[in-house]
Structure 1
Amino acid sequence: MILDVHGKTTYCYTGGKPFDPSLRTIVFIHGAQNDHSVWALQTRYFAHHGFGVLALDLPGHGRSSGPALESVEAMADWLLALLDAAGVERALLAGHSMGSLIALEASHRAPDRVTGLALLGTTYPMKVSESLLETSRSDESRAIDMVNIWSHSTIAPKPSCPGPGFSVMGGSQRLMQRMSQLNPEHLFYTDFTACNAYVHGEAAATAARCPALFILGTRDVMTPPRSTKLLTSAMAHASVVHVDAGHQMMAEQPDAVLDALYGFACAKK
């Protein structure tokens, strides 16, 4: 589905069903150097089980026009404008990594529009080392290799892998390389800098009143579960689900992630 947001072309995957804004809507927000396809194994189920699905490509990512936005705050404002363009008054926001910060900030800016928050692979502050930031600017291909290795708990696919011979690590690496080809303007550096610079997470978490769910990978070294204590403490009403995966949990443990997300969404009927 193509939308016009702030005068730019924006792409949203709708899970194989025409989008109907009258349905309960769930918006999927990807992380740095990714696009909507990281949610492929969850979005179709939601779309075929009574939900309106918008799995967006952020500006400068995937099929959405650039340039990439330089702050989490700007991305949150853009997300709210996307809801307007899609005719959605209220939605559940599911965000992964950088996307979790965008969802959190959007809920702080427009609490009446957010029915729930699902935060996957999240932490706050989401600090990025100076050496990785510099590598992402000077040698993006090397930064992609580094982060791709750190984002997966194993080389071999897990039993829940969607098909024999499917390389979870290879698919993730190719996606990140593709993002670089589509947007050569230091996309990785822009995304990581936005995560590193975001300073409103604690205030947003403390102010949140909607139901919230944390889905955390027990073997995540990018955003380790222990590092989420500030957020989980600030959102005392939130529930936490752990899955046996690294940072790219949606691909490593698609069924476990789907079960947690769908159970959370349906509990809010």
Structure 2
Amino acid sequence: MRVLQRPTSAGELALGVRVSGADPDRPPVLLVHGMAGDHSTWRTFAGALRRQGRAVVAVDLRGHGRSGHASTYRLDDFRDDLRFVLDDLDIAVADVVAHSLGAHAALRLAMDEPDRIRRLVLEEIPPMPRDQDDLDLNIVVAASLGERVRGLGWAVRNPLPLIRFDRRVADDVSPQFEVADPDWWAGLDAVTAHTLVISGGRQSFLPPDHLRTLSAALPDGRFTQIDTGHSVHRDRPADFGSAAGDFLSAP
């Protein structure tokens, strides 16, 4: 595990990254976990990528894993952390696979610096609400009982991500999704990456129709649904690996 030191207004922030593999002919794959996870959630998928010869960079978001706890957890902070990781590792262009909060941060980076991301896989990404109707859908509600039970089972097997997680992240992030932001939707036009949006279906607390709408709003978006809940890569690794792996392998 490598620890990068990112300068911030509050002092240096440690960002943990695991870098493995090498492929001079294709961009590295940046893996970004969701809330309360860390880089280890990608172990199965990262292994499959390395067997295909891909270079892999798995990052711990601020407040998670080996990264430091921070003074702020704005959505743009997570985006800027990803930008710093690419800059510090001298990565001009990357493919990105990201889950939930990490997917939202990755999409913000693709909107802000479209030339940095070639292919983008967004698993169970929470979109910003567009208007009052979206706010009424309440997409940031707590996960279902089934989702929490599945998460608890994984936490028992691998408790470190939850132990290291800064609980302030959830408190700071959730209110940011409770304000309509039509400008965010308008900004999707800037994304040039070929993008795959993966929904966990009706078992997830994120409405699949909302993610399908996001996919349609992207200049080059496509949509697939794997019915399992919010953590598709965790609960259906073979199906996720097939969908995401095939997408990344395309020219």
Shorter chain as denominator, the TM-score bin is: 0.7 to 0.9
Structure 2 counterpart of 1:212: 195
Which amino acid in structure 2 is aligned with residue 5 of structure 1?
Answer: R
Alpha-carbon separation, structure 1, partners of 2:28 and 2:206: 27
What is the CA RMSD across the aligned residues, in angstroms? 2.9
Matched, 1:60 2:69: no
1:184-204 residue CA offsets vs partner (Å, 9 max, x unmatched): 552332343344458354123
Residue of 77, 80, 105 corresponding to 2:80: 77
User: Mind listing any 5+ residue stretches in structure 1 that lack a counterpart?
Assistant: 133-145, 156-166
Matched, 1:255 2:247: no
Structure 1 counterpart of 2:154: 171
Which amino acid in structure 2 is aligned with residue 64 of structure 1?
Answer: S
1:30-85 residue CA offsets vs partner (Å, 9 max, x unmatched): 11122112212211111221211111101111011121642111211111111011
Q: Structure 1 130/96 Cα, relative in aligned 2: closer, same or farther at 3 Å?
A: closer
Matched, 1:119 2:122: yes
Q: How many residues align?
A: 239
Alpha-carbon separation, structure 1, partners of 2:219 and 2:140: 34
Q: Structure 1 196/188 Cα, relative in aligned 2: closer, same or farther at 3 Å?
A: same
Structure 2 counterpart of 1:142: none
Q: Structure 1 130/104 Cα, relative in aligned 2: closer, same or farther at 3 Å?
A: closer
Structure 2 counterpart of 1:193: 175
Alpha-carbon separation, structure 2, partners of 1:131 and 1:105: 18
Which amino acid in structure 1 is aligned with residue 50 of structure 2?
Answer: A
Structure 1 residue 18: deviation in Å? 4.8
TM-score w.r.t. length of structure 1:
0.77
Structure 1 counterpart of 2:147: 151
Structure 2 counterpart of 1:92: 95
Structure 1 residue 13: deviation in Å? 2.6
Which amino acid in structure 1 is aligned with residue 250 of structure 2?
Answer: A
Structure 1 residue 248: deviation in Å? 1.1
Alpha-carbon separation, structure 2, partners of 1:184 and 1:45: 30
Q: Percent identity?
A: 23
Q: Structure 1 171/183 Cα, relative in aligned 2: closer, same or farther at 3 Å?
A: closer
Residue of 11, 14, 19 corresponding to 2:16: 11
Structure 1 residue 183: deviation in Å? 4.7
The 8 Å contact of residues 21 and 53 in structure 2, kept in 1 or not, is answered as: no
Structure 2 counterpart of 1:32: 35
User: Mind listing any 5+ residue stretches in structure 2 that lack a counterpart?
Assistant: 130-134
Which amino acid in structure 2 is aligned with residue 8 of structure 1?
Answer: L
Q: Structure 1 131/235 Cα, relative in aligned 2: closer, same or farther at 3 Å?
A: closer
Structure 1 residue 99: deviation in Å? 1.3
Alpha-carbon separation, structure 1, partners of 2:53 and 2:71: 32
Structure 1 residue 233: deviation in Å? 2.2
The 8 Å contact of residues 126 and 139 in structure 2, kept in 1 or not, is answered as: no
Structure 1 residue 232: deviation in Å? 1.9
The 8 Å contact of residues 73 and 169 in structure 2, kept in 1 or not, is answered as: no
Structure 1 counterpart of 2:208: 225
TM-score w.r.t. length of structure 2:
0.82
